Amino acid sequence: MSRLQAEHLYKVFGRRPEDAVRRLEAGAGREELRAEGTTAAVIDASIEVDEGQIFVVMGLSGSGKSTLLRTLNGLLEPTSGTVRFDGQDLTSLSDKELRKVRSEKISMVFQHFALFPHRSVLENAAYGLEVQGVPRAERIARATEALELTGLKGWEKSWPDELSGGMQQRVGLARALATNADLLLMDESFSALDPLIRRDMQDQLLELQKSLKKTIVFITHDLNEAMRLGDRIAVMRDGRIVQIGSAEDILVTPANDYVASFTQDVDRTRVLTAGAIMTEVGTVLGATTPEGDKLATAAEFRAAAPATVGADTPLVELFTPCSTSTVPVAVTDEQGSLIGAVTAERLLAVLGEAAEQSPAPAAPARDAADDGTPAEKTPADPASAHTSGNSSADHDPEDKVSAGA
């Protein structure tokens, strides 16, 4: 079920933004508007995010991804278009109503931690609840639980400067989780971290998602991170969404050369899954085991298979079983029912197809950034800013605007 919908969103900075939208709808280009001092940061963007889904928006600096994120909770008012969360049109709410939604239903986690240095880890994690007016005993209990979820049990009385970068980011995540918001907006949340810590945070988020099943919109410029985290991925370029799909969709069937250029260095064996390349069980029945026994039924095939894997198992984990037996690998669904098989021949064919593909285009140049965009001040909103507990500063130059921090 879809919880968040954005329809035909535009965000234009500069003079006569409504007129700029009309010109864009009529076919005017982004550069044409920039030459006149108007920046189209987001152009006709539409997305749907299902309940419990991690929806990743990726693109180069200046592509509009962070501006898009800020329109989803009203930190930036769209020039045109609508945003609905649980059926409620957020673009029609008053400032007071928006602040209430942001403080209770939507949390935002930014790249920079911006923890209060004079507050303990526990006090930082509880700050969003303090802004909401939650009684002290309850907010301490909820913040303590959130810190435990993010692996910070025992650090409650520590000061932020005693924590590593990854641990500080966990505090920011705990602050967002403590509010029990239905929607998490994460803007380049792991980009400032070292690679090993960044991967650890990705693992942490995926592990939390198994139990919490939050609805998450995650912004990144890193394709590997997008493919690791995203149930669905939107690729942006120059303010427009150029493709939406699963990691496999984007890797196997890129919409254009721009998208293909992102995927040229991706390890397909860690992205493509058994479910993506499997064949029907019927196609392997009749195969012969090394002992000469024929596999006439699905039950016989499953018993003889060198391994049984889930449909979401990456191909890299199929190499060993496929190389040690002439019997294909069995593939099952979430309920454990047999749904397909992967033969060694099929696995090698898929890898061969990838190797024989024509060279991908050169890595895409940085999108035309929105440098020089007039700062559009968002009304101060301590509830929304401190619910996330992170700075609104974004390292992308696409929107140098205040997010209420």
Ordered domains of the chain (ranges, CATH):
2-264+366-388 (3.40.50.300), 274-356 (3.90.1280.20)
pTM of the model: 0.79
Residue 400 burial (CB count, 10 A): 16
Q: Does residue 122 come out as left (phi exceeding 0), alpha (psi in the -120 to 50 range) or beta?
A: alpha
Q: Quickly tell me which residue has 């749907």 as its tokens.
A: 48
What is the chain's length?
405
For residue 53, with 0-12 CB atoms within 10 Å meaning exposed, 13-18 middle and 19 or more buried, which class applies? buried
- The residue ranking higher by pLDDT, 11 or 249, is 11
- CA distance linking residue 252 with residue 273, whole number of Å: 12
Residue 241 burial (CB count, 10 A): 24
Which residues, in sequence order, are bridge partners of residue 9?
45
Is the pLDDT at 371 greater than 70, yes or no? no
**Mean pLDDT score across all residues of the chain:** 84
Strand order in 338-342's β-sheet? 308-310, 329-332, 338-342
pLDDT at 367: 57
Which residues, in sequence order, are bridge partners of residue 243?
235
CB 263 within 8 A of CB 360: yes
Is the pLDDT at 53 greater than 90, yes or no? yes
For residue 69, with 0-12 CB atoms within 10 Å meaning exposed, 13-18 middle and 19 or more buried, which class applies? buried
Which residues, in sequence order, are bridge partners of residue 236?
241
Cα-Cα-Cα-Cα torsion 386, 392, 393, 398, nearest 10 degrees, comes to 180
pLDDT at 301: 86
Which residues, in sequence order, are bridge partners of residue 83?
6
pLDDT at 307: 93
Q: Estimate the crossing angle of helix 165-178 against helix 121-132, to 10 degrees.
A: 30
Which residues lie closer than 8 Å to 325 by C-beta, 6 or more apart? 290, 305, 306
Q: What is the pLDDT of residues 378-405, one digit of tens each?
A: 333 433 434 444 333 333 434 433 333 3
pLDDT at 392: 37
**pLDDT-derived band at 366, boundaries 50, 70, 90:** low
Is the pLDDT at 15 greater than 50, yes or no? yes
Q: What are phi and psi of 186, to 5 degrees?
A: -120, 110
pLDDT (mean) for 143-171: 91
Least reliable range by pLDDT among 145-154, 345-354, 378-387: 378-387
